[in-house]
Structure 1
């Protein structure tokens, strides 16, 4: 029996869908490794808004970065030999990408030029970076997921000081660390552990490390688990459920508030970002249908870019 009443359902609608001109035929190493036997036209991830209100998304299997304007029109910004997953935009306009193959990259949105930022840790390659987040001071946090899971709980979460060029491993025992975000007071990092069906809480100490790591919220289970995450202005946490076609919303004490259901037949909601007027709309990547969904919310979201 649940300790809490069932969360209230909220609805979504389609904001935009990947145009057919950009559909691919499924001939990709990523598809063969992760979706064998399937014809995947795209796998969208990493939604993030720039200061002009354009939405950027990644397409993992085909190394593509798209920009979607406020009217839902798509532009291919760049295509390269990589598997881009997470994407965040710095206040100075630089786009940071968590690329499974190459590590942390930066992208110039005007030229489409990519520059490696972090490709290894002390000459050891990453397992496969997944998502990233900037705190209010501009420090970068990112997850190194690779193929970790319950069979190999060795996923890592890192922090990186861009000014001092200091890389710090916070944990190295995560069962598939994925999306991440800071809490409202910026005292703890919340990390989605996809194969652990939970969100972990990593208190950040004054020396930049962590201790007393615990489970913030347990998910409902299923074939996947917690994926991309975002925070609203009240500190409520929004968690994509990549197997159940929804977003779960928890208050700052992990009490479930809402379930935001996909309006499509897709079950793979991978990531999300606040945007729109007053930052009160939630935009979600429905990767299984190449669709961007949107929901109207009562509270505005926290900005996703750095405040530096």
Structure 2
């Protein structure tokens, strides 16, 4: 795929202090970014940031997986440590009761963390075998959980190969009593997000550098996949116009028909994940390598 000309102008502070405060991000063609908005550096003292998830108040929780911790960003109070250790949490998402769900891949588990930081293991095996390592997840309107389970060898694992034959996408029923495979033909599933109405699921196959869309059926199963775009993604989010945000080389935005409409560079080697945060859900929150950024938007997230 030939990427569009960048619609975003980014101005750097001198190279020695790359993005130490902010980078000017001014859209030339797309109107999804607020006029004159700047990519603001929130913090840059991490090892690898991932998994941003927004709560009902607009606070964003994210992970620093190599340091085994979950952090919390508040618009008023900045960043603080929420939980450490954190089961080597990667992707995060809030359920409808306000519990934080975490892809805790230290022991190949999916966790539920309540407001008192009590942990419940929701799932850890499939057909008697350890999962590869839950990576990213999305909660549907009924409370069911879709999650991706790729295999990325971790330095803290004792195992050196997967017990599973495939890297798959799973669905856990709303009562947390049943799990089933919903995608089994990906090379390496990774980013996942659903539409606001709960009718469409977008899933990235990073192994083949493609993203697909699926109709969500009544029983939680999926229709046959349709190619959404010729680009894979690490983490993903969606806005109230139905635009889908993919990550990797910065943030690349596609409209609901799979046409690229924007590219947001971060100045980092890899951009891992993205969500909408803040009280109005109009701040794009971006995790990229050792840093986290925000960008004021004209569109909003659809989580709460």
Task: Please give the TM-score of this superposition, normalised by the length of structure 1.
Answer: 0.79
Q: Which residue of 1 aligns with 2:251?
A: 247
Pick which of 197-206 and 125-134 moved more.
197-206
Whether the 8 Å CA contact 2:58–2:281 is kept in 1: the answer is: no
Distance 1:164 1:70, change over 3 A: closer
Q: Which residue of 2 aligns with 1:136?
A: 141
CA deviation vs aligned residue, 1:1-41 (integer Å, no higher than 9, x gap): 95x9646226252341155xxxxxxxxxxxxxxxxxxxxx5
Q: Which residue of 1 aligns with 2:214?
A: 202
Task: Give the distance between the partners of 2:166 and 2:126, measured in 1 at CA.
Answer: 15
Whether the 8 Å CA contact 1:176–1:196 is kept in 2: the answer is: yes
Q: Which residue of 1 aligns with 2:263?
A: 259
Q: CA deviation at 1:58?
A: 1.1
Task: Give the distance between the partners of 1:48 and 1:5, measured in 2 at CA.
Answer: 29
Pick which of 47-56 and 128-137 moved more.
47-56
Distance 1:53 1:279, change over 3 A: closer
Task: Please give the TM-score of this superposition, normalised by the length of structure 2.
Answer: 0.80
Q: CA deviation at 1:113?
A: 2.9
Q: Which residue of 2 aligns with 1:74?
A: 79
Q: Which of 127, 135, 145 is 1:122 aligned to?
A: 127
The answer as to 2:275 corresponding to 1:273 is yes
SS of aligned partner of 1:92: coil
Q: CA deviation at 1:206?
A: 3.0
Task: Give the distance between the partners of 1:158 and 1:131, measured in 2 at CA.
Answer: 11
SS of aligned partner of 2:146: strand
Q: Which residue of 2 aligns with 1:8?
A: 7
Count of equivalent residues: 266
CA deviation vs aligned residue, 1:29-69 (integer Å, no higher than 9, x gap): xxxxxxxxxxxx52111111222332211111222111122
Q: Which residue of 2 aligns with 1:37?
A: none
Whether the 8 Å CA contact 2:240–2:302 is kept in 1: the answer is: yes
Q: Which residue of 1 aligns with 2:243?
A: 236
Whether the 8 Å CA contact 1:6–1:256 is kept in 2: the answer is: no
Q: CA deviation at 1:125?
A: 1.1
Q: CA deviation at 1:183?
A: 2.8
Whether the 8 Å CA contact 1:188–1:202 is kept in 2: the answer is: yes
Distance 1:197 1:210, change over 3 A: same
Task: Give the distance between the partners of 2:129 and 2:221, measured in 1 at CA.
Answer: 20
Distance 1:73 1:300, change over 3 A: closer
Distance 1:187 1:54, change over 3 A: closer
Gapped regions of structure 2 (runs ≥ 5): 10-24, 26-37, 154-163
Q: Which residue of 1 aligns with 2:300?
A: 300
Task: Kindly report the root-mean-square deviation, in angstroms, between the aligned alpha carbons of the 2 structures.
Answer: 2.4
